[in-house]
Chains A and B, each alone.
Chain A
């Protein structure tokens, strides 16, 4: 009985630790509301750590060109993300047109993109840490020169 208890405790501990690690980079939130032709709601919240992990398993031939192109810009991207992480919350870009509204902002530790037009409303929130690790992972797959 005690043995079963220990095993159960071990399993629960492992599950909690795994969940903790998985959520350590925050959560990616995607919310899409499609109004036409039919109303659809899509709401996904996923651990942000899945993105760099997915990059790790992405076929190299499919990402090698993007990786090679992003490589020279890595110092710029690193500097930008580091400064974004440290900066206060700010709306970076906002574009308004009749019936359309696009907003890119830094909110908390995340980059938030909101797009709204006649047909759809899209909200994407991604932790900056996850963006950073995903891009680092992508750059690491670049063929060495």
Chain B
């Protein structure tokens, strides 16, 4: 009787292991970059869902214009001689703070580093004006700057960092009729 109970116990244990093992052994869940553009007045909407693993694998294969091997080259002329790399590096190493605050009659701009994110808010005070919110995890900024060359940003590494970061809303742009949202999560759909 005891042996039989032991046998049943072992079978139950093995069955339990068999059912839980695939879940434990499965790799990390796929992460998706979602883009949603809605125009309420025209009743139009565009949804794009890109598996981040796919973007990560595709980028290094693109060699066109200023994109090479997953790196994008930024010419100083393109940025009005602003050294974008030095700028991002300065933000990366700075403590949490408000870097830029511009308040005008009809526009507010705020650039800050907060809770490990680079945050940009733009508010257009005019009627139906745009509201822009951009949140970029600093890990992504770190990854962008992980290349050896000064005039390059590592987009592949940034996507890798994005897929390792938690669910996040990266960009929202709203005006009177249009609404744009870019975010990352583990859901394959936008429902």
A interface, CB within 8 angstroms of B: 75-76, 78-80, 82-84, 86-98
Measured CB to CB, the closest approach of chain A to B171, in angstroms, equals 18
A92-B50 CB under 8 A given contacts A97-B43, A98-B43: yes
Q: Once the chains bind, are B189 and A79 in contact (CB under 8 Å)?
A: no
- Are A89 and B188 in contact, CB atoms less than 8 angstroms apart? yes
Contact A97 B44 (CB under 8 A): yes
B53 contacts chain A at the CB level, 8 A cutoff: yes
In terms of DSSP, what is the predominant structure of the interface of chain A? mixed
Apart from A88-B51, A98-B43, what 13 extra A-B contacts exist at CB < 8 Å?
A: A75-B61, A76-B58, A76-B61, A76-B62, A79-B54, A80-B57, A90-B51, A91-B190, A92-B49, A94-B47, A95-B46, A96-B45, A98-B42
B32-87 CB contacts (< 8 Å) to partner A = 32, 42-51, 53-54, 57-58, 61-62
Q: B189 and A91: CB pair below 8 A?
A: yes
Asked whether, in the complex, the Cβ of A79 is within 8 Å of the Cβ of B47, the reply is no
Set of chain A residues within 8 Å of B30, measured between Cβ atoms: 87-88
A91 vs chain B, min Cβ distance (A):
6
16 of the cross-chain contacts (CB-CB < 8 Å) are A75-B61, A76-B62, A79-B57, A80-B58, A83-B58, A87-B30, A87-B53, A88-B188, A91-B47, A92-B48, A93-B48, A94-B47, A94-B48, A95-B45, A95-B46, A96-B46
Per-residue A-contact encoding for B145-156, CB less than 8 Å = 1, 0 else: 000000000000
Are A90 and B48 also in contact (CB < 8 A) when A76-B58, A76-B61, A83-B54 are? no
For B46, what are the chain A residues with a Cβ–Cβ distance below 8 Å?
93-96
Is B62's CB under 8 angstroms from A83's CB? Answer: no
Q: How far is the CB of B38 from chain A (nearest CB, A)?
A: 9
With A87-B53, A88-B30 known to touch, is A79 a contact of B44 (CB < 8 Å)? Answer: no
Q: How far is the CA of A70 from the CA of B190 in the complex (A)?
A: 32
**Closest beta carbon of chain A to B185's beta carbon, Å:** 12
B51 in contact with A83 (CB, 8 Å): yes
Is A91 touching B49 in the complex (CB atoms < 8 A)?
yes
Query: How far does the alpha carbon of A94 sit from the alpha carbon of B51 in the complex, in Å?
Result: 15
3 interchain residue pairs of minimum CB distance? A83-B54, A90-B188, A75-B61
Is there contact, CB below 8 Å, between B48 and A83?
A: no
Q: Are A90 and B189 in contact (CB under 8 A)?
A: yes
B71 to chain A, nearest CB (A): 15
**Which residues of chain B have C-beta atoms less than 8 A from A97's C-beta?**
42-44
